[in-house]
Amino acid sequence: MVRFLKSRGISMIDMLNLSMLFVIFIFFLYSIPDNPYFFKPLLVLASAWTAVWVAVLGRRTTFENKVTEKIRKFFINFYPIIFMFIMFESFFMILPYFNPKDYDAELANLDYRLLGVHPTVWIEQFASPLLTDLMYSLYFFYFPFQFIILFYLYNKKRFAELDKSVFILLFINYGAYIGYFIFPAMGPRFYEPLMHLQTKTLNGYILAEPIKAIIAFFEPNKFDAFPSLHTAISLSTLILMAKYNRKMFYIFIPVVIGIWIAIIYCRYHYVVDMIAGVLWTIFSFVVIGLLYDRWAKTNLFHYKTPKL
């Protein structure tokens, strides 16, 4: 079976993507009795499935046209971005009907027990329009942030490091996605007891409102608080920068600190979400990083892409 998959151009990243797709499909099947969307989620998941096989086909194809060949090579390395986006957009049609339980009360209470305050309420004392613009800008910067190191590795043609980095980042994302299904929570911005305590409206001068609108548009699933991917992926990106570009690492340390403050200031996460994100990142780098090296060494599901 392994030889068959490798001969078809299946990489470890493809296997991880297909495995995650299978998990979400199982979640969808479980949600069917209460799911009003019927088969619409299947169309979205089928699109994600297609993206994987287009990448597999792309590894077995070359083009004489230089522009087309560059597009092919870029797609092979970065198609997981498309895959993740498509799959995430299916969650609002599956998650609430898979697990209707809301864990916001438990997470908010844990925060209070740990800190003696509700962090999103406590931090209001520092709120100002200028700071709000800055915090929302940092919160939004998380989305392109992880790609800085990936594009650096791609431009330097360090494809082995790029492949491993993408694999680890995908694993961290997918683990968090499963966490959303098991512990659904919407975060302090939507938890009513905290909404009554959060008395200051976070209005900025220019940037805050457009960023809120963009996030709301691309985030149809609101049950994505625990664990905090903003924490996990920003920390993971910083670790990769420390490994592959130390100068970049030092430059972006304050940016990551700013992102961590922003997720509390902007009321998207509880502190316990952040702690879970840090622990998940450490586990992923230690355990999955070692497993990746072992799988790559034994060539298990490790399709070697021709030199790009």
- C-alpha–C-alpha distance, residues 177 and 84, integer Å: 10
Residue 275 lies in a domain: yes
Indicate whether 115 and 94 sit together in one domain.
no
Indicate whether 39 and 153 sit together in one domain.
no
Indicate whether 30 and 65 sit together in one domain.
yes
Residue 107 lies in a domain: yes
Query: Which pLDDT score, from 0 to 100, does residue 108 have?
Result: 97
Query: Which pLDDT score, from 0 to 100, does residue 177 have?
Result: 96
Indicate whether 164 and 49 sit together in one domain.
no
Indicate whether 53 and 105 sit together in one domain.
no
Residue 74 lies in a domain: yes
How many separate domains does the chain show? Answer: 2
Indicate whether 58 and 125 sit together in one domain.
no
Indicate whether 123 and 258 sit together in one domain.
yes
Residue 306 lies in a domain: no
Indicate whether 30 and 115 sit together in one domain.
no
Residue 110 lies in a domain: yes
Query: Which pLDDT score, from 0 to 100, does residue 304 have?
Result: 46
- Final residue in a domain of this structure, among 82, 100, 118: 100
- C-alpha–C-alpha distance, residues 176 and 224, integer Å: 8
The H-assigned helical ranges of 266-288 are 271-283
Indicate whether 79 and 210 sit together in one domain.
no
Indicate whether 13 and 119 sit together in one domain.
no
Indicate whether 269 and 172 sit together in one domain.
yes
* pLDDT tens digits for range 169-199: 999 999 999 999 999 999 999 999 999 999 8
Residue 308 lies in a domain: no
- Final residue in a domain of this structure, among 100, 126, 161: 100
- What φ, ψ does residue 173 adopt, rounded to 5°? -60, -45
- Final residue in a domain of this structure, among 100, 121, 148: 100
Residue 4 binned pLDDT confidence (cut-offs 50, 70, 90) = very low
In which domain, by residue range, is 110 found?
101-299
* pLDDT tens digits for range 199-209: 899 999 999 99
Tokens encoding 190: 């939507």
Residue 150 lies in a domain: yes
Residue 269 lies in a domain: yes
Indicate whether 17 and 157 sit together in one domain.
no
The H-assigned helical ranges of the chain are 2-7, 12-31, 40-59, 66-88, 95-98, 104-115, 119-122, 129-155, 159-182, 192-197, 208-218, 229-244, 246-265, 271-283, 289-298
* Res. 8: pLDDT tops 60: no
